[in-house]
Amino acid sequence: MLPETSVSFRTADAALQRIYDEAERKCRGNLQRFGGDTVLVEGGGYEKIWLETQPMGGEMYALRDLRAGFNNCNLFLRHQRADGRLPGSIQCVAGAVEPQFNKYQGFCFPFPALNLYYLIGEDRDWLDALAEGLRRFDDCLRRTRDTDGDGLLKSFCVYDTGEDLALRYGDAPCWWTEDVPPAGYQVVPMASMDVTSWSYACRSALASISRIRGDGQAESWEAKARQVADDLRRGLWDERRGALYDRDKNGNTIDILCHNTLRCMYWGSVSQGMADRFVREHLLNPREFWTPFPLPSVAACDPAFRNAPENNWSGQPEGLTYQRAILALENYGYHRLVTRLGEKLLHAIGENGCRFTQQFDPFTGKPSLVHAVTHQPAAEGEPIQDAYGPTLLAALEYIAHRWGIHPHLGQVWFSLGSGQPYEYEAVFYEHRYAIRSTGQKAKVLVDGRCVLESPCGLRVITDRRGNAMQTLPIED
């Protein structure tokens, strides 16, 4: 029996309320039955759960449906192969659940799975299963993807990192079913900042689990994680340019400035100094990633940038990037920058009829209207993509991180954003939490008891009983 969870938001800001209500409504349409389990599929025409999106998506949805959120992580562990490899995606065809091992498809898994440990009531069986699954997956990565012993893990195909049509992959195959590297291609096997960072994320999470279990292994896992971070910096960090760059099969730098250093911040594999340089020199650079609608997949001034409206990771900002950016930036203290990105995303959604598409034009903020199934530019009268899960969940999560309540590894984050009056309530950790705000001042309540009052514009981090631990600004 899972604990009770719920969440609600009421605001005097009618436009913001509409975005929130539409996002919740459209998320419910992405709930599907996979055999005997309810899961939250990616949506927007994608009917599977993918390792790069849906563990993270399930964890973000868990206050609304904890069972579905848990299933979005658990199904990947349940279908882990004997050799440790996790499926890159899982589909359900005629009631039959089918794991797919023809790509890795990203790895936004360790943090969501660990955060769910606290939400499901600190179930030690889940913690033990998670630890074993992460250990086996890390072993699989090291065994099959460190193909030349340099510590840098290799991407074998475009869909390993989920970057459809990314130009830096050259002639690489989209899929690759083997655990031996492909031969005869120009770029792959590619030394990948993403794949290398997955090993860091596994080891960092294993260190956290060891501390929870008190098994004496935390320092060992931390040392192993540091080794991965050292290999990443030594092999792929360009000190002169302040960013990570992948290398092709011959060890040559792939000279395309992509957003993926931000992805590595999601996994925590870069140092604070590296993150600061990338944010300062690139992420906030209007010529590169801080376009009028920020976060293109490739720097807007790079010759490899393509402002293509279809599912194409060579250009337009992706809803998935906005979803990942929250944890990526908060990992390194950029809480106010998360607020600024949320403003950009919510404005673009609201100004365009609450359509939740996969991509947006980086110069106008207009949603890219593509066919609901083919994801190619839609002709007049054809069904248009909407209800794309990462964009839906990103919108809800930016609201929670500005005007709401967020469970974070056993802590409670109360984000007291300014603006119009609002009320936000959430149930988790077997407590009922609430914010009552005028838009200038806010009260924080735990189980109906006011535990603090504060000016808006701040985030108050507490333990589960509402005892304040830290306060930090979230608005400029």
Adjacent-strand bridge partners of 38: 33
Decide if 139 contacts 146 (C-beta within 8 A): no
Task: Please give the tally of structural domains in the chain.
Answer: 2
Would the CA dihedral through 422, 428, 433, 439 be positive or negative?
A: negative
| Distances in whole angstroms, Cα of residue 218 to Cα of each of 205, 221, 231 | 10, 5, 20
Three-state DSSP state, 12:
coil
Per-residue pLDDT for the chain (476 aa), expressed as one digit of tens each?
Answer: 899 999 999 999 999 999 999 999 999 999 999 999 999 999 999 999 999 999 999 999 999 999 999 999 999 999 999 999 999 999 999 999 999 999 999 999 999 999 999 999 999 999 999 999 999 999 999 999 999 999 999 999 999 999 999 999 999 999 999 999 999 999 999 999 999 999 999 999 999 999 999 999 999 999 999 999 999 999 999 999 999 999 999 999 999 999 999 999 999 999 999 999 999 999 999 999 999 999 999 999 999 999 999 999 999 999 999 999 999 999 999 999 999 999 999 999 999 999 999 999 999 999 999 988 888 888 888 888 999 999 999 999 999 999 999 999 999 999 999 999 999 999 999 999 999 999 999 999 999 999 999 999 999 999 999 999 999 999 99
Q: Are residues 299 and 190 in the same domain?
A: yes
Question: In terms of domains, do 166 and 307 share one?
Answer: yes
Closest CA to 67 of 106, 129, 23, 121: 121
Single out the residue in 361, 377, 403 at which a domain terminates. 403
416 and 396, same structural domain? Answer: no
Domain limit, last residue, from 379, 403, 427? 403
The CATH number of the domain where 115 resides is what? 1.50.10.10
> Does residue 311 form part of some domain?
yes
Same domain, 210 and 351: yes
Cα–Cα nearest to 460, from 476, 443, 448: 443
The answer to whether residue 16 sits within a structural domain is yes
Residue-by-residue DSSP string for 328-358: HHHTTT-HHHHHHHHHHHHHHHHHTTT---S
Task: Answer yes or no: do 176 and 214 share one domain.
Answer: yes
Residue 159 is given by DSSP the state G
**Residue 170: which region, alpha, beta or left (left: phi > 0; alpha: psi -120 to 50)?**
left
CA 453 – CA 414 distance, rounded (Å): 11
The CA-to-CA distance between both ends of the chain, in Å, stands at 43
Which residues have a Cβ under 8 Å from the Cβ of 316 and sit 6 or more positions away? Answer: 296, 297, 307, 308, 309, 359, 360, 361, 362, 368
Q: Are residues 83 and 97 in the same domain?
A: yes
Q: Is residue 107 part of a domain?
A: yes
Q: Are residues 376 and 454 in the same domain?
A: no
Domain end position, chosen among 356, 381, 403: 403
Kindly report the CA angle at 185 between 182 and 186, in degrees rounded to 5? 135
Domain that holds residue 215: 6-403
* Residues 234 and 296 grouped into a single domain: yes
- If we measure between CA atoms, which residue out of 19, 14, 16 comes closest to residue 355? 19
Residue 1 lies in a domain: no
**C-beta of residue 114 within 8 angstroms of C-beta of residue 130:** yes
Residues 146 and 225 in one domain: yes
With respect to residue 441, please indicate whether it lies within any of the assigned structural domains: yes
